[in-house]
Structures are given as C-alpha cells and as structure tokens.
Amino acid sequence: MRPSAKRYWLRMIGWLVLLYLVACGLAWLAADGIMFPARFASGTAPPGAFRLRLADGSTVSALHLPNPEARFTLWYFHGNGEDLGDIAPRLAEYQRRGFAVFAIDYPGYGTSEGRPSERSVIAAAEAGQRHLAEQGVSVNRILLYGRSIGGGPAVEMARRARFAGLVIESGFVSAYRVMTRWPIFPGDRFRNLAKMPEIASPVFVIHGRRDEIIPFWHGEKLHAAVRGDRRALWVESARHNDVIEQAGETYWRELHAFAESLP
C-alpha cells in the first residue's frame, strides 16, 4: 500500500472511531429522556393512591387494591408513556378479574418526585417490595407484571428473588436494542435478555406480532432465554398498545391459566 493510501485509510478509521465515540456519548446523554417521556402521561394519581419513601428521601405514588379472595397480588409495572392516573381502570379490571393489585409510579411520573432513570426506577421498585413485605405479602404470593419498559424493573426484581411468577407484556431484550437491534453501544439500560437465565420464577411472555415500537422478535428472544417454566401468548393482530383489546378473552384465559399453574 502506498504511503498516501495508508494515510487516507488511517484518517478514515480515525473519523469512524470519533463518530462512534460521539454516538456513544449522545446515546448516553439522551437515553433517559427518550426512555421516560413522562410529559405524555396524565400527571395525576387516582383516588386511594399513597406515598412511598425511597432511600434518598424522595417519594413516589403507589396504589394497592386489596382482594380478600385473591391468591396472588399482581404487581404491575406500567409503560413509559403512562402513569397511575392513566392505568387506574386497567388496574381495577385486574382486581375485578380476581387479583389483588399493587402498582407504583416511577420517579417523575404522575405525582411522584424525582427524575426517572434505570437506577431511580429500581429504587422505587425496592420501596414497593418493602411496602408489600410490611403488609404481609410474601414474594411467593406476588405475580410480577411488566408492560413495555415496565418489563425492566419487573425482570430485575424477578432476578433478585423467586416470586410466584413473572409476566412480560410487549417487553424488550434491552433498551438500546429497540433502536439498534444489535448491541453496538456500551451503557445499555434494562438488559433484560441477559438476566432471563437467572430468573427462577415461571415466566409468561406476551407480545403482539404487529408491534410497531418493540418488534416481535424481542418477545421471542426473551421467551427462548427462560431456563425454567415458561409459556407465551403471541397475539397475531396486536400492535404495541392494544394487546388486551386484540386478544380479548383469550388474554384473560391465558393469564388465569398461568396463575393457576403456579405453586
């Protein structure tokens, strides 16, 4: 190779490395804002909501809907464009369908204090688990349920202890890979796929085949990575935000079948 050609390729490689580093930095700086668009949620909390204090002194909103007849408490982790004010009717439907229900708002969502990030969302989940323990609800009576980005904290909690079960609706393998498909950037958030083999609880993965936000292959990979008991519900006509509507009574039948299969 001639010296001039060598210098040309070295410059090209240098520019590519620089562009990659810039892209890494931008991904790191912009990730939380993209992942947690709290401004699109209602900014409210439903009647009956109360406050939980986190380790840093801030508080988040929570809602606990008891059901004396329920075998399990369904702990619901919501998506990134909604809060307790938005999902209160859905939570009430789970209660009507035979579950006790618990949910928390992420920091910065609804009437919760703080700013949302992977770390702060996990801190809020830890506060939620402490509350349930204080109420006498043991982990083997808790069914974790994570929708979309809510799969992140749900998977992390399931990795730490053996809960009764874990449901992932419209979840992703990791946050960055929703955009890049391949793991090309460091500092990824909510690396769910890597954690799946560590989960001892039975897992139920639900995903719409027409999901336009988190493609269907994410659900397939999460399901395939489970080493223990697993089941799946693939909803042919569902997109990202209409899984229950498209699945109809099949959704409720399969959810109850999963709950009934748990020890």
Task: Write out the catalytic residue numbers.
Answer: 148, 211, 240
Instruction: Give yes or no for a contact between 78 and 42, defined as CB atoms under 8 angstroms apart.
Output: no
Q: Both tokens of residue 126?
A: 């830890």
Instruction: Give yes or no for a contact between 146 and 178, defined as CB atoms under 8 angstroms apart.
Output: no
Q: Helix 118-134 to helix 151-160 angle, to the nearest 10 degrees?
A: 60
Q: Per residue, what are the HEC states of 87-118?
A: HHHHHHHHHHCCCEEEEECCCCCCCCCCCCCH
Q: Both tokens of residue 166?
A: 């874990």
Single out the residue of 145, 128, 160 nearest to residue 64, CA to CA.
128
What's the rounded Cα separation, in Å, for the pair 182 and 185? 9
Single out the residue of 184, 261, 183, 195 nearest to residue 225, CA to CA.
195
Provide the sign of the torsion angle of the four alpha carbons 161, 162, 164, 166, taken in this order: positive
What's the rounded Cα separation, in Å, for the pair 215 and 242? 14
Instruction: Give yes or no for a contact between 129 and 110, defined as CB atoms under 8 angstroms apart.
Output: no
Q: Both tokens of residue 28?
A: 């790191």
